[in-house]
Chains A and B, each alone.
Chain A
Amino acid sequence: MSINRRLILFGRTILMTGLMCLMAVAGVTRATTAKPDPYLRPVAVPVPADNAITPARVELGKMLFFDPRLSGSQWISCASCHNPALSWSDGLPTAIGDGMKKLPRRTPTILNVAYNTIFMWDGRAASLEDQATGPIKAKAEMDQDMTILVERLVAIPGYKAAFERAYPGEGITEKTIAKALASFERTIVSANAPFDRWHAGDKKAVDESAKRGFKLFTGKAKCDVCHEGFNFTDNGFHNIGLKTPKGMSEDIGRYAQRKVKVNKGAFKTPTLRDVALNGPYMHNGMYRTLEEVVDHYDRGGDVKDNLDPNMEALNLTPQEKQDLVAFLKSLTGAPVLVMIPQLPR
């Protein structure tokens, strides 16, 4: 056999083997397209097929959101904790629930909650509709029996009419209450911030410190590993090595929902939109300022047990820390303006 013939046969063998490998190793890849700019605002807010946004649904949802009659005590509304004047949170380290009882976790903002793909600090709700009635029913939060709530709302003519306008023929049910609340929450969307204007090309929209901060955010400090894209969250769960504040019990976080080791003490990555207005920080509200937050990450967290493997000490200089904070402050947009509704009586 000539050398050429041998080479051809060898080549064929390699080719065949390669083809076989392709068949055996089913590493099928999804179609690749050019990646869009991750920091651009999505064209539209995601909405489920069975709950399209209409003015009547948003209006109804807004009434329900501000109505304390949604709670067992008839004294706490969604807005009691998700207060628009406090960046849709409550400004407290951890929330206050039914009977003025202190709850173990901080009230998350509902700003941009429309873009989330999983809800609550521990991800126990799969949709905004699922989430909407969770706190209403929770004994420690609003402590409201839904059957009683439906009876209460049915007895209010204004609500009967508003539900009929929003969900014709569907009546007042737990489902329509949830859908209306979710519709309103989907309208609470952050306004353009200096960062967005700078990212769109306005070189003077942010100062040099914030520009350096963004470079650190996506570089040395690796913040964007978790705080990614337009809404600065990966909808993921991370144990960032927080200490348990004095007087509080250890919180297993996501582990309660998914019993996988990495989830012990892991909580959902929150948005950073309007973050400067949204302290105290972390799921347990243990840090008052963004400077304290940056210091925490610079240390690589404090409690190393089951720490997210993406966490490590950053060795930032004092200037770099200031720059990161300057960048975070550039994410503050104009407040979402909401006219407080007149509630039906």
Chain B
Amino acid sequence: MFLRNLFGCLLLAVALNATAAEFRVDQKDKQFSVSHLKIKAGDTVNFVNNDPFFHNVFSLSDAKTFDLGSYPQGQGRTITFNNPGVVEVECAIHSQMKLVVEVEK
């Protein structure tokens, strides 16, 4: 387990040196762990479900339209934001879950 975590951390550390970064946003208690996230174009966000029921992640914003589908506790879905702009991210199942991703150049 320790080695697995270490390996994961090392991978991310390597990723730090690259131009794109990976961010993690948790879904817990029917909320996103952050309400606003500032990233750079090309960065990736991993949405991880920590609730004991399904969540969804989607956006219908002009800057980025996507639907990552629904997935259960312990699973995550990843999306890369290639274009600058403001992206409103929601959970289609739980209307109160909202997150603004600000993608900079």
Please give the residue numbers on chain A whose beta carbons come within 8 Å of chain B beta carbons, in ascending order. 14, 17-18, 20-21, 23-30, 117-118, 123, 222, 225, 234-238, 254, 258-263, 266, 308-310
Q: Is the CB of B23 within 8 A of A309?
A: no
Q: Is the CB of B9 within 8 A of A235?
A: no
**Given A21-B12, A30-B33, A236-B24 contact (CB < 8 Å):** no
Of B10, B16, B60, the contact of A259 (CB 8 Å cutoff): B60
Q: Which of B15, B26, B92 has the most chain A CB atoms closer than 10 A to its own CB?
A: B92
List 20 other contacts, CB 8 Å, given A27-B24, A236-B95.
A17-B13, A18-B9, A21-B12, A21-B13, A24-B15, A25-B12, A25-B24, A26-B23, A26-B24, A26-B25, A30-B33, A118-B96, A234-B94, A235-B94, A236-B30, A237-B93, A260-B92, A262-B69, A266-B92, A310-B54
A23 to chain B: closest residue by CB: B16
Q: Which residues in B have their C-beta under 8 angstroms from that of A29?
A: 26, 33
Q: Can you list 8 A-B pairs with a CB-CB distance of less than 8 A? A: A17-B9, A20-B12, A20-B13, A24-B21, A28-B33, A236-B96, A261-B67, A262-B56
Distance of A111 from chain B, by nearest CB (Å): 20
Q: B1 in the interface, Cβ–Cβ < 8 Å?
A: no
Q: Which residues in B have their C-beta under 8 angstroms from that of A28?
A: 33-34
Q: Which 10 A-B pairs have the closest CB atoms?
A: A27-B24, A309-B54, A26-B23, A260-B92, A25-B24, A21-B9, A236-B94, A260-B58, A20-B13, A262-B92
Distance of B51 from chain A, by nearest CB (Å): 9
Q: Is the CB of A17 within 8 A of B33?
A: no
Q: B82 in the interface, Cβ–Cβ < 8 Å?
A: no
Q: Is the CB of B16 within 8 A of A260?
A: no
Number of interface residues of B (CB under 8 A): 36
A237 to B70, CA, bound (A): 13
Chain B 1-40 near chain A by CB (<8 Å), digits 1 or 0: 0000010111011011000011111100011011101000
Q: Which residues in A have their C-beta under 8 angstroms from that of B94?
A: 234-236
Q: Which of A117, A222, A261 has the most chain B CB atoms closer than 10 A to its own CB?
A: A261
A326 to B56, CA, bound (A): 33
A309 to B49, CA, bound (A): 14
Distance of A211 from chain B, by nearest CB (Å): 23
Q: Is the CB of A27 within 8 A of B26?
A: yes
Q: Is the CB of B95 within 8 A of A237?
A: yes
Q: B74 in the interface, Cβ–Cβ < 8 Å?
A: no
Q: Which residues in A have their C-beta under 8 angstroms from that of B25?
A: 26-27
Q: Which residues in A have their C-beta under 8 angstroms from that of B22?
A: 24-25
**Given A25-B22, A25-B23, A309-B70, A258-B9 contact (CB < 8 Å):** no
Of A24, A238, A260, the contact of B67 (CB 8 Å cutoff): A260
Distance of B33 from chain A, by nearest CB (Å): 5
Q: Is the CB of A24 within 8 A of B13?
A: yes
Q: Is the CB of B92 within 8 A of A263?
A: yes
Interface residues of B in 38-79 (CB under 8 A from A): 48, 53-54, 56, 58, 60, 67, 69-70, 72
Q: Is the CB of A117 within 8 A of B13?
A: no
Q: Is the CB of A236 within 8 A of B23?
A: no
A24 to B46, CA, bound (A): 12
Q: Is the CB of A309 within 8 A of B34?
A: no
A130 to B102, CA, bound (A): 28
Q: Is the CB of A117 within 8 A of B56?
A: no
Q: Which residues in B have their C-beta under 8 angstroms from that of A261?
A: 67, 69
Distance of A77 from chain B, by nearest CB (Å): 29
A344 to B8, CA, bound (A): 72
Q: Which residues in A have their C-beta under 8 angstroms from that of B34?
A: 26, 28, 30
A18 to B95, CA, bound (A): 34
A258 to B53, CA, bound (A): 21
Of B6, B60, B93, the contact of A236 (CB 8 Å cutoff): B93
A254 to B91, CA, bound (A): 13
Q: Which of B23, B48, B53 has the most chain A CB atoms closer than 10 A to its own CB?
A: B53
A25 to B24, CA, bound (A): 5
